Each structure stands twice: as C-alpha cells, then as structure tokens.
Amino acid sequence: MGKQKKMSEIIIQIDGKEVKTAEGVTILEAAQKADIFIPTLYHHEKLEPFGACRLCTVEVEVRGWKSLVAACLYPVEKDLVVRTRSEKVDKTRKLILEFLLAHAPCSPQLQDLAEEYGADRDRFEKESSFCILCGLCIRYCAEVKKKNAVGFVNNGTRREIRFIPEIATTECINCKECFELCPTSYLQAAFVLTESLALSTDSSPTGLKK
C-alpha cells in the first residue's frame, strides 16, 4: 500500500471569517468549502486551473504585504487574509466584465455579473465575436474527453474556436458536454455550422445523423 501524505490544516481569514482549510489548496477551493462566493469564468472543477480571466481576483494580505491575486490559482498559506470584495477587487472585476461584454453582450452569465459589479456594457466598442475565448470547450474536450474535437485557429483579433469536422462528426453527436460550459451561445452556433457544412459536403450514408 502506498504511503498517503497527510495534508496539514491551517487557519486563514476570508472576509473576516476564520476558515479552517487544508494547506496547499487554492483560495477558491477554501472559499467554496466555507460557502463564500468568488465569481469565476474560465474555470471548471474538472479542469486544471488556467488563471486567464482574472474574474476571481481577490485581495490578499500576507505578513503585511497586500496584493491582488487570482483565487483559482493562489494557494492558501498560514495566516493568509483574503478579501473577496473591496474597492480594488470590484474595480478589477468591473473592467474585465466591460471588456468581455464588448465580445459577448448577450451572454446571460456576463449580464448578471455586470449588474452585480455595475459594469457598463457600452464602455468598449463592440466586437461581437460572441466567443470570449475562454477556452473551456477546448480544454474540456482535450483534458476530460481526450478527443480534441475543438481548438483555436488564427491569432490576435482573428482568433476563434473551431470544431475539427473529421473528429466532431463522429465524436460530438452523442457528447455535447461542452455546450453547457460555454458562457456565451457561440459554441452551439459553431457546432451547428460544422454540422451543416459536414452534411452539405458528405453525400455518403454515414454522414452526420442527429
């Protein structure tokens, strides 16, 4: 039988509340266990933390040092003090949301968060790509399903997600698990497009079936 390393417990403070947690877990995990809400966007418990959206930004204080960190990445340590809401935290989240809303103004998830943080939907010029490039669909398909049926193509402002028809036509029909992860409706639209293109170019009887 392999030896199991026992994680020691430490006490941290989140929003003035003492929270007992295992050493080494992230702030987000410790907060979730203590029923303290921290918003996330490019995050899924089955996927490795990515740390790209920064919506989970919180303020931490360690030995007198204060900084803003991503709660989904930052590991807890003894005597850590965390503030999940502060002027700086809210300002950061507001700015992130305003930027994302320029890409996906109709996303219900973004709209709810915008209301909470007073984000102005019209602050940045609209570039309605509808995809906010969170990569959740891509990472879920690669890490959990091990299929790689969807990926990023192009760079810079032309970057977008695309289904790989050869894989999607056989693997996605009975899966579609990534659909509910998408914070916008872009993923479904991209899949319907792939499906339609495959149908229009495949005259064989083994073409896509719903």
Which residues bind to ligand SF4, rule: CB under 6 A? Answer: 131-137, 161, 181-184, 186-187
Q: 70 is in the binding site of which of ligand FES, ligand SF4, none (Cβ under 5 to 8 A by kind)? A: ligand FES
Q: At what angle do helices 108-117 and 87-103 cross, to 10 degrees?
A: 150
Cβ-contact 100, 134 below 8 angstroms: no
Cβ-contact 41, 53 below 8 angstroms: yes
Determine if 113 is a binding residue for ligand FES (CB under 6 A): no
Determine if 70 is a binding residue for ligand FES (CB under 6 A): yes
Determine if 40 is a binding residue for ligand FES (CB under 6 A): yes
**Strand duo 9-14 + 81-83: pairing:** parallel
Nearer Cβ to ligand SF4 (49/183): 183
Determine if 139 is a binding residue for ligand FES (CB under 6 A): no
Cα 130 from Cα 126, distance rounded (Å): 10
CB 69 → ligand FES: shortest distance, Å?
9
Determine if 95 is a binding residue for ligand FES (CB under 6 A): no
Stretch of 1-9, 37-45, 78-86, 159-167 lying at the interface with ligand FES (CB under 6 A): 37-45
Q: Is 176 left (phi over 0), alpha (psi -120 to 50) or beta?
A: left
CB 188 → ligand SF4: shortest distance, Å?
9
Q: 13 is in the binding site of which of ligand FES, ligand SF4, none (Cβ under 5 to 8 A by kind)? A: none
Stretch of 52-60, 85-93, 124-132, 168-176 lying at the interface with ligand FES (CB under 6 A): 52-60
Determine if 41 is a binding residue for ligand FES (CB under 6 A): yes
Concatenating the DSSP letter of every residue in 33-69 gives HTT-----SS--TTS-----S-TTEEEEEETTEEEEE
Q: 187 is in the binding site of which of ligand SF4, ligand FES, none (Cβ under 5 to 8 A by kind)? A: ligand SF4
Nearer Cβ to ligand FES (55/172): 55
Instruction: List, in order, residues 6 or more apart from 190 with CB less than 8 Å away.
Output: 131, 150, 161, 162, 163
Q: H/E element holding 18?
A: strand 17-22
Q: Contact positions toward ligand FES, by CB under 6 A?
A: 40-43, 51-56, 70, 72
